[in-house]
Chains A and B, each alone.
Chain A
Amino acid sequence: MLKRFLSERPLRLPHIKPYVPRPSDPSIFWFNSERDDIVSEVVNRVCTAHESDRGRLEIALNDAAFHEIRRLEKQHDEEARDRLGYWRSMIRRIGKMDDTEQRRVLHTIVTNMTRDVAGNFDPRVYRFARRAVPRMIGGVMEPRHLMAPAPDAVGRVLKVQGDVEHLRKLQSEGSLVFVPTHSSNLDSMVLSQALEISGLPPTIYGAGKNLFTNPIISFFMHNLGAYRVDRRIRVNLYKEILKLYSQVMIERGYHSLFFPGGTRSRSGMIERRLKLGLLGSAVEAFSMNRVRRVDRPVWFVPTTINYALVLEAETLIKDWLMDEGEARYIIEDDEFSRIDRWFSFFRKIVGMHGACIIRFGDPIDAFGNSVGSRGESLTPDGREIDSGGYIERRGKPVTDPARDGAYTRELGEVLAKRYEQDTVLMSTQVVAHVLFRHLVQSTPGMDLFARQRLRGEISLDCETLGRELGEARDRLRELERQGRVRTSEVVKGDTPQELLERALSIWNGYHSSTAARLEGNRVVIGDPSLLLYYQNRLVPFAEAIASPEQLQAACEIENLGVHR
């Protein structure tokens, strides 16, 4: 009961007097005073798009009722009891309603859905979280510091890379859209910490409604500007509302964050096929501002989140293997929902310097061009161009959803490329790759699934493994020089022996199965699926770092990422 109450109506703190933002505050501090205005803008735009055409309006209402009835019938919960009657009676009446009635119903549905999506921002919660989150993380890592945390506890575990100074300059000139890779439910929290320690502004972002079921997380999410995305709702109007909400926020200069991969990468591979819905909303926000002659550009920051240890690795790879390509969209029973796993995860990364690296890539405009220090768009040879030209038709700026859709697809491709180049390969990933490649090489002709069953059967002597690790690392260095990928300081600096020991100690003791273990002078492969998960980050580089004898196995690995 309480759970539902909280997830339906998240808690807000009472206001004695309203907070008046200062000019130096980040844009999101203005959100609460603009909230109603934003909701009504979204509602108006959605309704206007449907009202002009009775056919379209009727289809929208039928679609909403049909999908909601279908969803609620499966749910058997309180929400179903409350709402099912409404939708059932509505679907019977749609055909008989006159135009005014249909519009009124549309307006009610859209308003309710938009209110459910829109978030809240409370500066007090923000300030509290700024202090409390590092303390919590520090406390879990080193309990004696719980009350007075080691000041740099978070800074040790979390490293930030990239031209942060450039982003700080841009943030006051336009809207920044952070588009990171997605591996873990911790990502949004880790990223907000990274923004915080880099002096970058907080962002709004869409969080799955399933994250709101935990009352504490729900409280923070809701009051820190997150908007709620209920993935169970299949209604087209709802999808339009989500996109428009994101678009209106970006148009108004709110910095934004979303994961273009759509969901956590199940395989552990760097995302290649991106979901374009929210990305499109940002591109359209740019066009709309230009057409209205509002000088508020939109820039995209491709960001990679790189973990040496992934909280949910076991569940994610199991899901991928079970259902390759057709990943379950909502997983509610993974490590993220188990507090004991959080504790052992954070305990594990104690003392691991740079266990997580956030890399902010160089910002780009909506058309994939680099952006100069003043926010100007640049050609590959450094010439300054007007990004408004892209939305001109015969010299006039115009809105055109089909054109913006095409720009969005191209932007998706640019981002996927940038993810590869900005990925920071971690010790565990490199070691897993060399071990997994050995597994593939020793089992020619065997398929991926049969290989998963080879637990404890394949081993490699430390000397050979050390040599292969050294060679792979040298080739990765070369790729790094060419700008094709990056490696962590640990991968750069450790000896192969140290790398191996580090990776084994990171995995073992956290994951419930053993990825690999040392037996005398040999490394035995324990759980190939865990190795697969970590090594998948190297799929695009497998051939480039293989020796001629390893090429066949590397090809097979690289083919894991090819769409057929």
Chain B
Amino acid sequence: MSLRIGVVGAGGFGRAIAQASARHGHEVVVWSRKDRELPDGIRMSTDIADIGDSELIFLAVPAVHAVAATEELGKVVDGRHLIIHVSRGLIGADLKTVTQVIRERTVCRRIGALAGPLAADALAEGRPSGAILGTGFPELTEMARDALGGGELRIYDTPDVVGVELASATVGFLMVVLAYAQEIGAEPSTLAVLATRGMVEVARVGRTLGAKESTFMGLAGLGDLIAAVAGDQRPEFLLGRALAQGANLSNARGKVGAYVEAIDVARHLLEHARRLGLETPISATFVALTEGRISPDNAIQALMERRVGHE
């Protein structure tokens, strides 16, 4: 059964989705503001109206561009369209998720967030991989599996959409923390403590925003973090290393080349946690470190001197 698939965004992930869908025999059109060259069998368009003909739409733009892109998309979609986004960030100080933005700016309701350890090149080339789709709509999962799944990609699903989005965004921050710690020579056990306790911390905050803690421990959270630690070359890792080598935040960002939202997400998350009186020692210490308010030695000392509690 051939689907009409639209992809908004012609970056790495957008192209990978288009390639995977075309490989499974679907009709694919990619929209981007600028004309780009795409592999054979994939149509390129700079006219958003072409996306309106699709049944399933993938929104593959960074979270910072999600508002503008959904604004465009909103002009041509209606209740028939199904949308899946693959952004890994949150928007603004009120930690808005991309599905919330889609819901506000379009009339589409059958929406999902695709996340987890999925990497663009594995998807494009059809290497075995897995992902998690947060959606309340079982028909969306079926369609996503038809579009991308085949024998190469296992797409699990969960109704905890906000959990998937928050886990996916906050794990980016934990990646920076781990890369930093690794670079300054932290032991594997220190890394493990930072990773697991860090995950507990972000999950605790996530719960107050409507997420389930268990989602953080699944593919969207731990799964993604393990992939990054196992050597997936994520920009968050490069950023963490650059910071550890003594670069300040803006220089480190310059070195990475891509805009990493992780630190902004962490700041907004901290602000939210502070208002609710929640403890977030790892995130708070690391944000202070990136802002130059404390030194690496003091950071470790501060974390180690904290009272130890139950897990």
Contact = CB atoms under 8 A, between A and B. Distances in A.
Contacts of B105: 380
B109 A392 contact: no
Interface residues on A, range: 20 to 34
A390 B75 contact: no
B107 A369 contact: yes
B80 A392 contact: yes
A555 B137 contact: no
Contacts of A402: 137-139
A208 interface: no
A383 B79 CA distance: 12
Given A385-B78, A387-B79, A559-B276, A393 B109 contact: no
Given A389-B80, A390-B79, A559-B276, A380 B107 contact: yes
Contacts of A395: 80
Contact of B107 (A385, A393, A559): A385
Contacts of B277: 555, 559
B74 interface: yes
A400 interface: yes
* Prevailing SS type, chain B contact patch: loop
B79 A405 contact: no
B137 A403 contact: yes
Nearest to A559: B276
Interface residues on B, range: 20 to 34
Given A555-B275, A564-B207, A406 B74 contact: no
* Prevailing SS type, chain A contact patch: mixed
Nearest to B277: A559
A96 interface: no
Contacts of A400: 139
B136 interface: yes
B107 A379 contact: yes
A339 interface: no
Contacts of B55: 394
A379 B154 CA distance: 35
B80 A562 contact: no
Contacts of A340: none
Interface string A172-193: 0000000000000000000000
A368 B78 contact: no
A409 interface: yes
Contacts, number: 70
A407 B137 CA distance: 8
Interface in B78-111: 78-80, 103-107, 109-110
A320 interface: no
Interface in A339-389: 367-369, 377, 379-381, 383, 385-389
A563 interface: yes
B75 A381 contact: yes
Interface string B46-78: 000000000100000000000000000011001
A410 interface: yes
B70 to A, nearest CB: 11
Contacts of A368: 109
Contacts of A394: 55
A299 to B, nearest CB: 15
Nearest to A562: B208
A407 B138 contact: no
A555 B208 CA distance: 14
A563 B212 CA distance: 12
Interface in B180-231: 207-208, 210
A380 B208 CA distance: 29
Contacts of B103: 410
Interface string B294-306: 0000000000000
Nearest to A409: B136
A559 B277 CA distance: 9
Nearest to B208: A562
A390 B136 contact: no
A367 B136 contact: no
Contacts of B109: 367-368, 390, 407, 410
Interface string A536-547: 000000010000
Contacts of A369: 107
A1 to B, nearest CB: 50
A380 B79 contact: no
Contact of B78 (A380, A386, A562): A386
B137 A367 contact: no
Nearest to A407: B109
Interface string A200-241: 000000000000000000000000000000000000000000
Contacts of B139: 393, 400, 402-403
A403 B142 CA distance: 12
Interface string B126-163: 00000000011111000000000000000000010000
Contacts of A392: 79-80
B108 to A, nearest CB: 9
Contacts of A405: 136
Contacts of B210: 563
Contacts of B107: 367, 369, 377, 379-380, 385
Contacts of A389: 78-80
A315 to B, nearest CB: 30
B138 A403 contact: yes
Nearest to A564: B208
A564 B80 CA distance: 36
Given A385-B107, A394-B55, A564-B207, A410 B79 contact: no
Interface of B: 55, 74-75, 78-80, 103-107, 109-110, 135-139, 159, 207-208, 210, 275-277
Interface of A: 367-369, 377, 379-381, 383, 385-390, 392-395, 400, 402-403, 405-407, 409-410, 543, 555, 558-559, 562-564
16 contacts: A367-B79, A377-B79, A379-B107, A380-B104, A385-B107, A386-B78, A388-B79, A389-B78, A390-B109, A392-B80, A403-B137, A403-B139, A406-B110, A409-B136, A410-B109, A410-B136
Given A367-B109, A403-B139, A410-B103, 10 more contacts: A369-B107, A379-B106, A380-B74, A380-B107, A385-B79, A386-B78, A386-B79, A390-B79, A400-B139, A562-B276
Per CB-CB distance, the 10 closest pairs between chain A and chain B, nearest first, are A406-B136, A389-B79, A390-B79, A389-B80, A385-B78, A379-B107, A402-B138, A406-B137, A555-B275, A367-B109
